[in-house]
Amino acid sequence: MLVAGNWKMFKGPAETARFLDELDVPAGVEAIVCPPFPSLADAMGHGVSVFAQNVHWANEGAFTGEVSATMLLELGVEGALVGHSERRQLFGETDGTVRLRCERALEAGLRVIACVGETETEREEGRTEEVLRRQVAAIPRHDALVIAYEPVWAIGTGKTATPELAQAAHELIKAEHSTAVLYGGSVKPENAAELMALPAIDGALVGGASLEPASFAAICRAAIT
């Protein structure tokens, strides 16, 4: 099982080091943390895998605010999130740029968690399958890549996909792409065990509940129960 914590724009370098000093990850689960860029270096050497929250498709160039795969590798970062719903909704990420970012990161030797998921409007309009098929089709095949299914309507809202909805979405994604699939969307200690017990779910991408060491550790424990 793989459990990744996406910290978004939280935790500077000092807070990152304190968090990881307190974190107790059980054996049998791979824990990944995705700090903001300024905190990546301080996340190293604490016994967890460290991923960036984004990566550009060029090695260098006039791309203000972006970071390349080669820079991340030099720092010691193992992988990157790509295509998170907030990047898609707030910063203009497209299926095409998701593919470019994935391809370059994988070519450079980074691991990738590629995110897909439908909005509440798309689900209400009965377009979930269409959206997921389109997004998954843009993601390259590679042994170092996993997909995270994050229904946008469940991110930061407290809403969580029912086990039936989550299982169906993961089965659809796996029918389109032969890789491990994580569930993301208001994962917390109270629902983690039920979600990760589903046969099509291979772990979790955790947002707000990954910001406290005890909460994140509890979700990691739930992954192996």
Return the domain boundaries, the chain.
Answer: 2-222
In this prediction the pTM is 0.96
Whole-number pLDDT of residue 185: 86
Whole-number pLDDT of residue 174: 98
- The catalytic residues are 84, 150
Confidence of residue 88 (pLDDT cuts 50, 70, 90): very high
User: For residue range 204-223, what is the model confidence (pLDDT) as tens digits?
Assistant: 999 999 999 999 999 999 99
- Mean pLDDT, the chain, rounded, equals 95
State how far Cα 22 lies from the chain centre: 22
The CATH homologous superfamily for domain 2-222 is Aldolase class I (3.20.20.70)
What is residue 28's three-state secondary structure?
Answer: coil
